[in-house]
Structure 1
Amino acid sequence: MKIFAETERLILREILPTDIDGMFELHSDIEVHRFLGNQTITNKEQAKELIKFVRQQYTDFGIGRWAIIDKKNNNFIGWTGLEFVTEQINNHKNFYDLGYRLIKKYWGQGFATETAFVSLEYAFNKLNTDEVFARADSRNIGSNKILDKVGLKFIETFDFEGIEHNWYRVERTEFENKKSNR
C-alpha cells in the first residue's frame, strides 16, 4: 500500500480493492451526488469497477484519486487528490484535475479543504506541474468555497454535460504565494 501524503488527522493513500464498502457508501448516496449529475451506483460490482478505474490511473499516469483515511479509527472518509484528465473538458486536455468526495457524515469537518491543500502541494512539489485545474457545479456553494480557499482562481463558467460549472486554475507561483500567507 502506497501512502502519498499525511496530515495531522489523515492518511492519503492509494485506493485499494478492500475499500469497496467505503466506495459503495460514498457513490451510492444521492446527497453526495447531488451536484454530480445524480448518477449514483447501485451495487458493489460498480464500486469495484470505480476502484479498478482509479487503480489503472496509477499505472497509466502515476497519479489518481487517493483514499482519505482517518488516523484515529482507520475509517474510509472518501477520496481526494489529482486525476490526469486526457479527454477534452472546457477546451483543455491532458491536465491535472483536483477533486474530492466525502461520505456525508464527514462533511463540514474541514477534510476536503485539508486534503485539497495537500494535493496541491503534491502536484507542485512531487509532480512538478505548473498548473492544476478544477471544476465544480456552479450551485455547489461548499465545493466552490473550498476551491477558492485553497488558492484556485475562478476563470469562467462553462457547460459540462448540460450543467453550468465553474472552471478554476491555480499556477505554481500563485499557490506558493497562498501557502506563504497561511
Structure 2
Amino acid sequence: MTFNIETERLILRELRPTDLNGMFELDSNPEVHKYLGNKPVKTIEESQKILDSVFKQYKERGIGRFAAIEKHTGNFIGWSGIRLNTEYNMNGHTTYYDVGYRFIPKYWGKGYATESGKASVNYAFNVLKLPELYATTHLENEASHRALLKIGMKYVEDFYFEEEQLNLRWYKIESP
C-alpha cells in the first residue's frame, strides 16, 4: 500500500520499516500513553510488532494508520489516519472504520491532530467512499476531544471499554 496525502504542514503516507525508531520514540513515552491505559512499550521489538501489525492491516484490509511527517523538517512526528477495526468490540461495534492520531509530545499543541484528522476524514469519504467513521478518546483527554470536534466528529456518548478498563467517549461522523 502506497499513498501520499499532503496538507499545509504535513505529509501523511504509509508507515515504513524506516519509521521504527520514530514509532519507538512515540510509544515508549509514558506521557503519550497517559490516556491509553498507561502501557508504553519498553523495547524496540515491541514497536516492530506494532509496525508489523499495521503492515498486515495494509495487506489484508487495504488501510491502516498513516505516518505523519512534518513537511518543513522531514521529521516523523507520529501517526494519524484511518483503520478498519475487527479486533475487539468497541461500544457495541465489532467491525468499523475509525479515525485516530498519536503524536510525539514535542509536536503537541500545534494543531497537527486537527490538520491530519481533517485530511483523514476527507480521504475516508472521498477516496475510500466510506459511509461513516467513528473515533474514541479517553474521557479526561480534553485536547483530543476538542480536536475530534474540530474535524467534524459528533460526540455520541460516554462508555466503559472493559477490555482495557477505560472510560471513553464515542464519536461518529457520516459522509456528506
Alignment TM-score, normalising by the size of structure 2: 0.95
Instruction: Say whether residues 1:43 and 2:43 are aligned partners.
Output: yes
CA–CA distance in 2 between the matches of 1:3 and 1:91? Answer: 31
Once residues 74 and 162 of structure 1 are traced to their aligned partners in structure 2, the CA distance between those partners, rounded to angstroms, is 37
Residue matched to 2:121: 120
Equivalent position to 1:170, from 144, 168, 173: 173
How far 1:93 moved relative to its partner?
1.9
CA contact (8 A) 1:116 1:150 kept: yes
Q: Could you tell me how far apart the structure 1 residues matched to 2:152 and 2:9 are?
A: 21
CA-based RMSD of the aligned residues comes to 1.0
Any gaps of 5 or more consecutive residues in structure 2?
none
TM-score normalised according to structure 1 size: 0.92
- Partner in structure 2 of residue 63 of structure 1: 63
Map 1:1-182 to 2 at 5 A. 2-86=2-86, 87-160=88-161, 161-173=164-176
Structure 1 unmatched ranges of 5 or more: 174-182
> Which protein has greater RCO, CA pairs closer than 8 Å, 6+ apart?
2
| Sequence identity percentage | 46
Q: Secondary structure of the equivalent of 1:83? A: strand
Output one character per residue of 1:53-79: Cα deviation in whole Å (capped at 9) or x when no partner.
011100011100000011112100000
Q: After TM superposition, which residue ranges in structure 1, 4 or more long, deviate above 4 angstroms?
A: none
Whole-angstrom CA distance in 2 between matches of 1:73 and 1:27:
21
Deviations 1:28-73 (A, max 9, x none): 0000100000110011111111110011100011100000011112
Q: Determine the C-alpha separation between the residues in 1 that align with 2:84 and 2:35.
A: 21
Name 1:179's counterpart in structure 2.
none
Tell which deviates more after alignment, 85-94 or 63-72. Answer: 85-94
